[in-house]
Structure 1
């Protein structure tokens, strides 16, 4: 019998996601107090759950931008009491686990793509830890804000997400869904970078 579960199943936007994100981000900020670079660290609610009206997988994506990138062991000790464990991905080549794929027009040292990924099962929260100078860190925030400000782009993105989601029924994970969205990112990268250049202060 074919497994009909869908690991990339989408749900309608939930206003509670914003409050949940704020609470977890506050807890993370407290937990990392004392780490080198924490004074200038940035904590963000990113991804589709951060865009009102956009259907999303019911996992809240958060981001910590900090330099230097903390040692994995140090972060594990600090985040474990909050329920976070180091995420390794469902496959050896799962995207965005230990490194972000280079993209965009911003010049970058190859080392800035390194990252650490954490998962909180109880809260259903993913925490992406990136260097403060990671272009991906900027892109995630710009993309979120561009979707918030651009209903037409938000509608296009949701249509693609729904189409990709239906293709994941019976699969063991949502890696193919994640990779499938890359084409849309490639198509709109220059558009949201240009928008950010004229809108973000």
Structure 2
């Protein structure tokens, strides 16, 4: 674990409070990778002097998978507590702070169509996001299971986007467990 310049936050700060789910599931849109590429370039420019990794994650990163039309971007930085290094430049690039919690920050576009998740390079969440993405890209049965779960959950009304995300947890964990088993990881 890298040395910290500052103490990390100790609790969840959800800027603006809970928000209802207002977008539905859309069939896969082949323009999603291009939208990611635009934001990757915007983030690289904003963080040009940083050692960062940038990846397309979430359902829009999986060809053929229906998704909410929100591009999820993962950015890995050296020190999550050094917000002056990455958060200030991302805010200056037009993103807005939504979440500050231990080990994770989330900024998004004002239109709320792009979520940028910031973690440290060695954060377990980085590996977990990539594990799920890669499994969904390569396993048709798990991709169908995940899509079916999302479509079923979107039949309900959700007053909090986080509650919708939490409702998918059991299916996501089962998919990741199968991916780990196939890769020989425990």
TM-score by length of 1: 0.75
State the shift of 1:70 in Å: 5.1
CA distance in 2, matches of 1:51, 1:175: 21
Matches for 1:101-112 after TM superposition, within 5 Å: none
CA displacement 1:9-63 (0-9 Å, x = unmatched):
111111111001011111101211223xx1xx21000000000111111110000
Matched, 1:30 2:45: yes
SS of residue paired to 2:111: coil
Aligned residue among 150, 158, 163 for 1:161: 150
- CA separation of 1:196/1:142 partners in 2, compared to 1, >3 Å: closer, same or farther? farther
- Please tell me whether the aligned partners of residues 146 and 195 of structure 1 are also in contact (alpha carbons under 8 angstroms): no
> Which has the larger displacement, 188-197 or 153-162?
188-197
Q: Secondary structure at the match of 1:126?
A: strand
Q: Give the paired residue count.
A: 166
| Aligned-residue offset at 1:195 | 3.5
Give the structure with the higher percent strand.
Answer: 2
SS at match of 1:136: helix
Q: Which runs of 5+ in 1 are unaligned?
A: 89-96, 100-113
Once residues 165 and 127 of structure 1 are traced to their aligned partners in structure 2, the CA distance between those partners, rounded to angstroms, is 23
The 3-state SS of whatever aligns with 2:122 is coil
RMSD: 2.0
Q: Is the 8 A contact 2:131 2:176 kept in 1?
A: no
Which residue of 2 is the match for residue 98 of structure 1? 101
Q: Pick from 138, 142, 147: which aligns with 2:136? A: 147
- The reply on whether 1:181 has 2:168 as its aligned counterpart is yes
Asked if 1 retains the 8 angstrom alpha-carbon contact of 2:108 and 2:115, the reply is: yes
